Amino acid sequence: MLETTREPLDIAVGLAASGLFDTSMVHEASDGWSVAGGVAAEVVVDAESVRCTRLGVTREEPWFGEPLTVVQKFLADLPISDWTAYGWCAFELSHAIAGMPVQEGTLLHLVVPETELRLAGSRIFLRSLESAALTAAEDTVARIAAEPAPAEPLPVQVDLESGADDYRRRVASLVEEIRAGKLQKAILSREIPVETDIDFPASYRRGRLRNSPARSFLLDMGGLRCFGFSPETVVEVSADRRVSSQPLAGTRALTGDPHLDHKLREDLLSDPKELHEHAISVKVAVDELVGPCKPDSVAVVEYMSVKERGSVQHLASRVVGQMPEGASPWEAFAAVFPAVTASGVPKHAAYEAIHRHEGNRRGPYAGAVLKVAEDGAMDAALVLRSVYAQDGRTWLRAGAGIVGQSHADRELEETREKLRCVATSLLARTEDAGTTASGAVTVRTGSRH
């Protein structure tokens, strides 16, 4: 265990920016921060196969039906005690779970790290499978604590109007389909290119100081770099099989003007379109949890409260349930993924509408960041309010829930409101980019068991 006067955010960002790990993930949850570095074991799912690596040996096999059974078995057979896996899944994993055709690309990527840090207050719990990696992590934490914070890189300007007219047309077309009875709701998103090379750790730090997410994350895995400020969890499963889901639907801006924000909040709480959109999302969440949970245990414990998430405020509810003895967290995940608030109602019809109107693969957008433990606990947070970089391209993406009462201009404005959660935090990468802050640390050795 280490002791530090540094903020957990600064330690986590400093480690991510240090270059110590080729593969890394910072994960912030309600119980604190985690930093996962290196690869002890790995599972990658694509449209055709599951590739598993452990103890330096890789095997690949095709999956049939749905791939999560293979993933669950691989994790259950790991020769590592008290493991935790970190990673992400694409929106298109939902197609595989539903038995629909799947586009090329990664569907799921999980890593059991070689080195793991848990940060809670002034304490850092550090463990590693390799003594040299443990020493390197300790030294890096000490260096981060001793260095002054560098100046922030220059902010990046992003054109939030990119594709606006096309989005209006797509919204209008989808509204016609909904009014014709083809579906009730679908989330229609638009992509915004970022032309500047982004300093991901520095931008994540800046954005986290400006946002109030349910979860936050920063990852660099398999060629994908991503950070974000998740407004809601798709599913949370505790070690005793208690399940929780937090649907958010219905949005208004947060301006910083208390009077105007209160007025927007009251408008949100009285808008028939927003109330309808939220109500059907909660109903779907209840219906989905009845599957893996004991039916009498499923309940709505919070309904239509308002949660502030960075530059927006949302209607929020929470649905809970209890799974039976011996149930797997993957059963709950498969039942609720993807979040109804990022897909639609009914889900199959929404998948088809999204594919038809958006035209390109979503990938991590509207997927999930995952933290899964050997004891059966799982935390899956919705990937929204994020920035992505892969294959030489950087982009943002945001959507709005479209129902029969939707108006194209209002839905476009909602995407702008959501995009600002991240767009205003982007910082340009420089050759000496790094993020540290001053503080002090006393190092004591630890080990992974």
DSSP 8-class letter at 82: T
Say what angle helices 164-179 and 408-423 make with each other, to 10 degrees: 130
φ, ψ of residue 378 in degrees (nearest 5):
-145, 140
Q: What DSSP line would sit under 263-319, residue for residue?
A: HHHHHHHH-HHHHHHHHHHHHHHHHHHHTTS-GGG-EEEEEEEEEEETTEEEEEEEE
192: Cβ–Cβ under 8 A, 6 or more apart, which residues?
158, 159, 160, 162, 163, 395, 396, 397, 398, 419, 423
Distance, in Å, from the CA atom of 119 to the CA atom of 153, rounded to the nearest integer, reads 26
Sign of torsion, CA 440 445 446 447?
Answer: positive
- Asked if 202 and 436 count as a contact pair (C-beta separation under 8 A), the reply is no
Sign of torsion, CA 8 10 13 18?
Answer: negative
Residue 22 burial by CB count (10 A; 0-12/13-18/19+): exposed, middle or buried?
exposed
Token pair 């579906």 is at which residue?
A: 183
Distance, in Å, from the CA atom of 203 to the CA atom of 156, rounded to the nearest integer, reads 10
φ, ψ of residue 192 in degrees (nearest 5):
-120, 120
Token pair 């503080």 is at which residue?
A: 439
232 is catalytic: yes
Q: First CA to last CA across the chain, in angstroms?
A: 14
Neighbours of 76 (CB within 10 A): 9
- Asked if 210 and 425 count as a contact pair (C-beta separation under 8 A), the reply is yes
φ, ψ of residue 114 in degrees (nearest 5):
-70, -40
- For residue 309, the cross-strand partners are 312
Q: Which of 232, 236, 288, 358 is catalytic?
A: 232
Residues catalogued as catalytic: 232
